[in-house]
Structure 1
Amino acid sequence: MKKTIERNLAEHQEVSSQLQTLDNAIEQIAIIMINALKNGKTIFWCGNGGSASDAQHLAGELIGRFKGDRKPLKSISLNADSAVMTCIVNDYGYEHIFSRQVEALGEEGDILVGISTSGQSANVNLALNAAKNKKMHTVGFLGKGGGQALEIADHAIVIPSESTARIQEMHITIGHILCELIEEGLGLNV
């Protein structure tokens, strides 16, 4: 057991130590998010499995609060409404579960963050394309080289790892950094 614990902690630290190479990308995405929120726009999030949980988590940090009491910020997780999701899956297929919602809810200047550890999730990639068609900003939280999503997203955070667990850990770390930068950028920290 100790070897497994030690190996996982060492892998986490190794990948975490490489995140500083993503500073510029994180800053650029934060600026886009801050400007969108200043202009009354919405940040949408989507992902599958653990990435769906991250999408809900980060949307919640913006609607609720991250560090201090402040006004709620416009943020929606597209994998949170089970009635909408099952309707779309039943009528159109799972690959359209997010793109259909983007088509209905997204507006020019909004942001879609697609979270995919491989960058190969068809439903996330279709949502990114739908967002681009609506002139939304698109952001990929990716790993494993970025996959197809890297070619679609306007901006990407590609975690330098092949391990799904390590990629997800870094996605939530970067998501938290973005939440703090947003609060600071909007002058909302108390």
Structure 2
Amino acid sequence: MTNEIKVLLVDDHAVVRAGFKMLLSAVAGMDVCGEAERGEQAIQLYQDLQPDIVVMDLSMPGIGGLETIRRLLQRYDHINILVFSVHHEQVYVNRALSAGAKGYITKNSAPEILPEAIENIVQGQRYIEVGLLKESSGQDYQAIVDAFSAREFDVFRLLAKGLTVQKIAGELCLGYKTVANYATQIKKKLQAESIAELPQIAQALGINVMPE
């Protein structure tokens, strides 16, 4: 990113916020522009600071995290919200995403996951920690991918590498509509809401998604 990413941290524990801030301050191009300890304060600060992304916990006093997400979305259609929570259970992941969060990671994740998630979301993608994505969908991805046809697997692998439908069509000598149909079917089978989730699924399965 060429411009600095402004981050608003929302967590009711000052020590936790300090840890987040220290972690992000070490990442070039990121700036923690504000901190809030509850949802009501976060809503006011968002209006004043206009950050690029809100990184927030779910368990907080007052209106709580989920209601904060809903209220922020009501006021700001294109807001970026990343949930950073101790909860890894399916119900929390699903409810946060349904409320409008663009991503969900746990506080037990590796340190590099937080800035990676922030960058992905600011760039317009969703980001769900790999283990949570598998758990929240309730699907056995390995079994689904094993059942792909050879052509479906080729398209899945190239989508996961970041290739566009048009580029895949050229590489596989297929029509654009044919590849687009494959992409739709792949997302449906994996219960992925967008192509942006496919690299994480591929990584969870040990499939190389690095550009060749």
Q: TM-score, normalised by structure 2?
A: 0.41
Question: Which is helix-richer, 1 or 2?
Answer: 1
* Structure of higher CA gyration radius: 2
